[in-house]
Amino acid sequence: MSEALNVEELFGKNVFTLGKMKERLPGTTFREVRKVMEHGGELSRESADVVAKAMKDWAVENGATHYTHWFQPLTGITAEKHDAFVTHPDEEGRTLLEFSGKELIKGESDASSFPSGGLRATFEARGYTVWDITSPAFLKEDATGVILCIPTAFCSYKGEALDKKTPLLRSMEAVSEQALRIVRLFGNTGATKVTASVGPEQEYFLVDRAKYLQREDLIFAGRSLFGAPAPKGQELEDHYYGAIRERIGAYMKDLNVELWKMGVTAKTQHNEVAPAQHELAPIYETANIAVDHNQLVMETMKRVAIQHSLRCLLHEKPYAGVNGSGKHDNWSITTDDGVNLLDPGDTPNKNIQFLLVLSCILKAVDTHAALLRQSAADVGNDQRLGADEAPPAIISVFLGEQLDDVVRQLVETGDALHVKKGGKLKTGVKSLPDFEKDATDRNRTSPFAFTGNKFEFRMVGSADSVASPNTVLNTIVAEAFCEAADKLEKAKDFEIAVHDLIKENFSAHERIIFNGDGYSEEWVKEAERRGLPNIKSTIEAADMLTTKKAIGLFENFGVYTKTELESRKEIIFESYAKTINIEALTMIDMASKQIIPAVMKYAGRLAGDVNAIKAAGVDAAVQTDELKEIQKNLKLMKKALDDLKALEKKASAISDQRELAFFYKDKVRPVMTALREPADALEMLVDKKDWPFPTYADLLFEG
């Protein structure tokens, strides 16, 4: 039996929660902090000092030696620079531990080594980190000790966002402001804020660390670049929800403990579809906290894996031929008086506020489908989207039978008089109770699905931050709300006007609804007929950031400036080219130094055997055929390897980042495939003992 965990005691142990602040701060300071948290503004200098001292005392009591402004630069991961609390020793050589309000609220760092996409020349290297008071400070325990982490936003000297969090916070304000206008129209005078909530389900792979360390591709690219399929894949569907193996169970247990301590509500854990693939889902939270926590989930997954002699792969497609990993971004918006605007109630056809909100969301998603697609794009995710395992690259909305029927009635007749009910679920077994089933079945292929009282955006990649998808969602919905409110606030007869607007929105944007099989070829054609964008790659999607429509939207709601958008686009091109460059160089390395030499050695031995067999006067046809097959593939490999090297040289002469990215996509990628194919064929021809690194079977089925 493993030792019992006291979760209630563990949970939030390492978080400087409101509760701890209440205990440790004078009443006036605590009230000031709460006010700023809820309604914005700035803490006075005096209060900041008081909060900083209380925070430091708490951190030090819990073993902290350093603090850090924890932020999310455009690399997609988090960044931290640790500063010890120690101060200059006094005359007697003693140090005092100090932490001031100034240090809590603002940090200044040389930011020139973070990607800025031209926003900041190296001579303008100043970057500022600013405390996000709405996300609680926490302690991180790792090999460096205990570090007090202060969640911050990261901006340039001129105030341009250099991170993923600043635009997210701006978008949360935008959607709150516009959603309030909507609820006011329906007579809600009490709500003062509308909060976007997010619950990101995180998929991941685990692999034995010793085997991982034998694979340069896993080390450098986070995914396998060579590898013939194992005899067994996921076809038996025996891994999904399967019993969790001992070693993985021990990992999940420690992962949960680490996350709970930091206040992350790790809730659900299970095996996923592919062998060695798993999922963790937290309980949803306010969007910016959910984004912070998802970063912590990813980081902690990696750290705990090492402690268990495992490695955690967050790449969207670590192995060819089995499912890759994604992140389902569950999103909803709720007023501070507790109304989830996405809750249809029992009679959605009569819930006018819900229908208006739903019609606005459809309008937003249809109008800005390309932007939403872009928000989920990254180089790894290109390997996964549209590959019969993840949603296609086409954005559509799944509403389910019940709402679809309501929308249809509204569009056809202008009124939705009836609503389909779920009815009783009958199992046919007397001892099992019949129960009310949901009015709608699940659809697993849709990229944007309504799931009861939230939307589930399923396109996001597993390694990506969920900041951008939620920034886009908040902003496009804010725009649709704003346009609705502009009309309705002026309406002479509100009831007629709202009725007309709902019908107008649904009729104009009905084309975005699709309840069928998103994996099918027919859908691709049908979507084209409907005029829905099908943007296949990350770099094509990047161009969507700077269309007139996108710039207009983001500037209008103060989420991104044109310059910020341009810089983000530039970074996408840059990092895309860099990523594929690393992959190509890794393949060159593995092919030249490992695969080709191993195959040559084996072929040499086989040739010797052929001669010996022939000398013995026996027919060596089997050996000769085998040898010919090996030579054929070896030749193909050599040719692709030379081509790849030549392309790499060509690439180094291209200076325009967009051109370079497209060069990697259109020219380099196909040659990488041409190099992989014969190598994978060779893996099936060569003695396993001679193969230079662990195979898919080794990586996926044990450890």
Residues making contact with Mg ion (CB under 5 A): 201
Q: Does 462 bind ligand ADP (CB under 6 A)?
A: no
| Residue 107 contacts ligand ADP per CB under 6 A | no
Annotate 198-225 with DSSP letters as a single string.
EEEEEEEEEEEHHHHTT-HHHHHHSS-S
**Closest approach of Cβ 203 to Mg ion, in Å?**
9
Does 197 participate in binding ligand ADP (rule CB under 6 A)? yes
> Which one of ligand ADP, Mg ion, none interacts with residue 596, CB within 5 to 8 A by kind?
none
Cβ–Cβ < 8 Å for 477, 360: yes
Mind giving me the DSSP string for 48-68?
HHHHHHHHHHHHHHTTEEEEE
Cβ at position 452, least distance to ligand ADP in Å: 8
Q: Which residue is nearest to Mg ion (CB)?
A: 201
Nearer to ligand ADP, 457 or 696 (CB): 457
Return the residue of 78, 135, 224, 332 that touches ligand ADP, per CB under 6 A.
332
Q: Is 331 in the site for ligand ADP (CB under 6 A)?
A: yes
Question: Which of 694, 701, 696 shows the shortest CA–CA distance to 247?
Answer: 701
- The answer to whether 201 contacts ligand ADP (rule: CB under 6 A) is yes
306, 216 Cβ separation under 8 angstroms: no
Nearer to ligand ADP by Cβ, of 198 and 460: the residue is 198
The entry of ligand ADP, Mg ion, none that residue 283 binds, CB within 5 to 8 Å by partner kind: ligand ADP
Of residues 695, 493, 476, the one with CA closest to residue 594 = 695
* Smallest separation, CB 150 to Mg ion (Å): 31
Nearer to ligand ADP, 81 or 442 (CB): 442
Smallest separation (angstroms) from Mg ion to the CB of 354:
25
Which distant-in-sequence residues (6+ apart) come within 8 Å of 501 by Cβ? 356, 359, 484, 487, 488
- Distance (Å) of CA 134 to CA 201, 233, 239: 22, 45, 39
Tell me if residue 277 falls in helix, strand or coil: strand
Beta-bridged to residue 277, according to DSSP, are 205
Q: How far is the CB of 446 from ligand ADP (least distance, A)?
A: 12
Number of other residues whose CB lies within 10 A of the CB of residue 29: 20
Is the CA virtual torsion 34, 38, 44, 48 positive or negative? positive
Least spacing, CB of residue 507 vs Mg ion, in Å: 34
Q: Does 330 bind ligand ADP (CB under 6 A)?
A: yes
Q: CB of residue 460 vs ligand ADP: minimum separation in angstroms?
A: 13
- The CA-based angle 691-695-699, given to 5 degrees, is 145
The window from 23-31, 226-234, 325-333, 471-479 that contacts ligand ADP (CB under 6 A) reads 325-333
Answer with the entry of Mg ion, ligand ADP, none that 25 interacts with (C-beta below 5 to 8 A by kind). Answer: none
Q: How far is the CB of 78 from ligand ADP (least distance, A)?
A: 20
Nearer residue to ligand ADP within complex by CB, 116 or 330: 330
Position of minimal CB gap to ligand ADP: 199
Find out whether 122 and 94 touch, Cβ atoms under 8 Å.
Answer: no
Minimum separation from the CB atom of position 470 to Mg ion (A) = 18
| Closest C-alpha to 259, from 29, 44, 10 | 10
Nearer to Mg ion, 57 or 438 (CB): 438
3-state secondary structure of 421: coil
- Max Cα separation, the chain? 103
25 interacts with ligand ADP by CB under 6 A: no
Which residues, listed in sequence order, are joined to residue 689 by a DSSP beta bridge?
A: none
CB atoms within 10 A of CB 3: 4
Q: Measured from the CB of residue 259, what is the shortest distance to ligand ADP in angstroms? A: 13
Q: What does the block give as tokens for 314?
A: 């967050």
Beta carbons of 317 and 377 less than 8 angstroms apart: no
Q: Which of Mg ion, ligand ADP, none does residue 354 bind (CB under 5 to 8 Å by kind)?
A: none
State which residue, 157 or 241, has the beta carbon closest to Mg ion.
241
For ligand ADP, give the closer residue by CB, 287 or 660. 287
In terms of CB distance, is 329 or 382 closer to ligand ADP?
329
The residue written with tokens 């940090």 in the block is: 107
Instruction: Please state, in angstroms and rounded to a whole number, the distance separating the CA atoms of residues 112 and 257.
Output: 36
- Are 154 and 111 a contacting pair, CB within 8 Å? yes
CB of 283 to ligand ADP, least distance (A): 4
Structure tokens at 134: 């709405």
User: In whole angstroms, what is the distance from residue 165 CA to residue 690 CA?
Assistant: 49
- Given its phi and psi angles, is residue 519 left (phi above 0), alpha (psi -120 to 50 degrees) or beta? alpha
Alpha helices in 208-316 (DSSP H): 209-212, 216-221, 246-261, 287-307
Q: What is the CA radius of gyration of the chain?
A: 28
Nearer to ligand ADP by Cβ, of 58 and 284: the residue is: 284
- Residue 2: CB minimum distance to Mg ion, A: 25
Question: Considering only 193-201, 220-228, 405-413, 565-573, which stretch makes contact with ligand ADP by CB under 6 A?
Answer: 193-201
Q: How many CA atoms lie within 13 A of 364 on its CB side?
A: 23
Q: With respect to ligand ADP, which residue has the nearer C-beta, 286 or 534?
A: 286
Q: Which does 378 bind (CB under 5 to 8 A by kind): ligand ADP, Mg ion, none?
A: none
Q: Which does 109 bind (CB under 5 to 8 A by kind): ligand ADP, Mg ion, none?
A: none
Does 454 engage in binding with ligand ADP (CB under 6 A)? yes
**Count of residues touching ligand ADP (by CB under 6 A):** 16
Whether 331 contacts 198, CB under 8 Å? yes
**Residue span binding ligand ADP (CB under 6 A) among the ranges 30-38, 329-337, 514-522, 664-672:** 329-337
Given the complex with ligand ADP, which of 29 and 471 has the nearer CB atom? Answer: 471
Question: 438 vs 690, which CB is nearer to ligand ADP?
Answer: 438
Give me 189's structure tokens: 């005078």
**Member of 286, 453, 592, 631 binding ligand ADP (CB under 6 A):** 453
User: Is the Cβ of residue 140 or residue 454 nearer to ligand ADP in the bound state?
Assistant: 454
Q: Looking at beta carbons only, is 90 or 237 nearer to Mg ion?
A: 237
Rounded to a whole number of angstroms, the minimum distance from the CB of residue 267 to ligand ADP is: 7
**17 is an interface residue for ligand ADP by CB under 6 A:** no
The smaller minimum CB distance to ligand ADP, of residues 284 and 576, is found at 284
Distance of closest approach, residue 281 Cβ to Mg ion, in angstroms: 5
Q: Which of 657, 389, 703, 450 is nearest to 539 (CA)?
A: 657
For ligand ADP, give the closer residue by CB, 33 or 194. Answer: 194
Positions in 267-296 near ligand ADP (CB under 6 A): 268, 281-284
Nearest distance, CB of residue 571 and ligand ADP, angstroms: 29
Find the binder of ligand ADP among 101, 127, 199, 678 (CB under 6 A): 199
Backbone φ/ψ region at 101: left (φ over 0), alpha (ψ -120 to 50), beta: alpha
Q: Which residues of 487-524 are buried (b: 16+ CB within 10 A; e: fewer)?
A: ebeeeeeeeebbbebbbebbeebbbbbbbeebbeeebb
Q: Does 624 bind ligand ADP (CB under 6 A)?
A: no
Picking from 380, 465, 571, 470, the residue whose alpha carbon sits closest to that of residue 78 is 465
Which parts of this chain interact with ligand ADP (CB under 6 A)?
197-199, 201, 268, 281-284, 328, 330-332, 340, 453-454
